Amino acid sequence: MTWLRKILAVKIALSFVFWILPLLLLPAGFFPELGIPTWTPAAKVFLRLLGAAYLAIAIVETWGFFDAARRPGAVLAGLASSAGASIVLWHDIFYGELWNWAVLGKVLVSIWLVLHGVFTVALLVTGIPTMLGRSEPTPVPPPTSTPPY
pLDDT given at position 137: 57
Backbone dihedral region for residue 141 (phi beyond 0: left; psi -120 to 50: alpha; all else: beta): beta
Give the pLDDT mean for 21-36. Answer: 87
What's the pLDDT at 90?
95
Give me the mean pLDDT over the 4-9 stretch. Answer: 93
129 — pLDDT class (breaks 50, 70, 90)? confident
pLDDT at 124 over 60: yes
Sign of CA dihedral 52, 90, 41, 27: positive
Higher-pLDDT residue of 87 and 96 is 87
* pLDDT (0 to 100) of residue 77: 94
Kindly state the average pLDDT of the residues 122-148.
76
**How is the chain split into domains, by residue range?**
3-131
Give the list of residues 6+ apart from residue 119 with CB closer than 8 angstroms, or none.
7, 11, 78, 82
HSE, side-chain direction, 13 A CA sphere, residue 140: 7
CA distance 106 to 116: 15
| Average pLDDT of the residues of the chain | 88
